[in-house]
Amino acid sequence: MPSIDLKEFQEKISIQLRPLQRSLQFWARAADIYTGYKVFQLRVSFEKDVEKAEAMWERQHEHAADKIYSMCYDMGGFFLKVAQVIGKPDLAPAAWVRRLVTLCDQAPGTPSNVVRVVLENELGKTVDDVFERFDWDPIGSASIAQVHRARLKGDKKDVVVKVQHPGVQDLMMTDLRNLQAFALYVQKTDIKFDLYSVCKEMEKQVKFVKHYAISTVF
């Protein structure tokens, strides 16, 4: 009987469970935000003074903005991109924009041995066959990919190579489906937030990601 690599087996199980774990994490956070707004709607409906009602809405938006910020920061990946889209003026409540615009799209780097595998699978050649020099320490790492400086063989100029994090496509599809489902519920509140536009923008991001695992900028 062949021996089983327990560590490898655990890693495979962990990868398979990631979409489910991520969905549960999202819905727990999203339900909290949604419920907060629904309860607030009932409370503010008793306030007849327009100015006081507006002030109450502003405080509620600020409270929700903190929760949305925490969710996007903790979950990272796709939701850092979502935060960037929501952070655009005139798309979401001003309190959300002020809070989310400060959230940077940063993520831990993929190890160099994994980057090598991704590159060689995509190129069909070894890294040494294609590049004269390849800096394994990334210049930067964001939610979807990380960037390396390199030099192609026979060229005197450096290039920037963007390498997609492995598994990011599947997780982004999971996140997008969850966001689209949540959009249906958000429309039932009085929040002046066009989540549908956010979903459409994120669909473009996902489609773009599907088309590359690596790209080179000269």
pLDDT band (50, 70, 90) for residue 218: very low
Per-residue pLDDT at 184 exceeds 60: yes
pLDDT confidence of residue 12? 62
Domain range for 69 = 6-106+168-188
**Does residue 49 lie within any of the structural domains?**
yes
**Does residue 172 lie within any of the structural domains?**
yes
**Does residue 12 lie within any of the structural domains?**
yes
pLDDT confidence of residue 134? 95
**Does residue 69 lie within any of the structural domains?**
yes
**Does residue 205 lie within any of the structural domains?**
no
Q: Nearest Cα to 149, choosing from 124, 165, 131, 129?
A: 131
**Does residue 208 lie within any of the structural domains?**
no
Per-residue pLDDT at 17 exceeds 70: yes
**Does residue 125 lie within any of the structural domains?**
no
Residues near 179 by beta carbon (within 8 Å), at least 6 away in sequence = 82, 195, 198, 199, 202
Cα 129 to the chain's mean position, in Å? 33
Domain count, the chain: 1
**Does residue 38 lie within any of the structural domains?**
yes
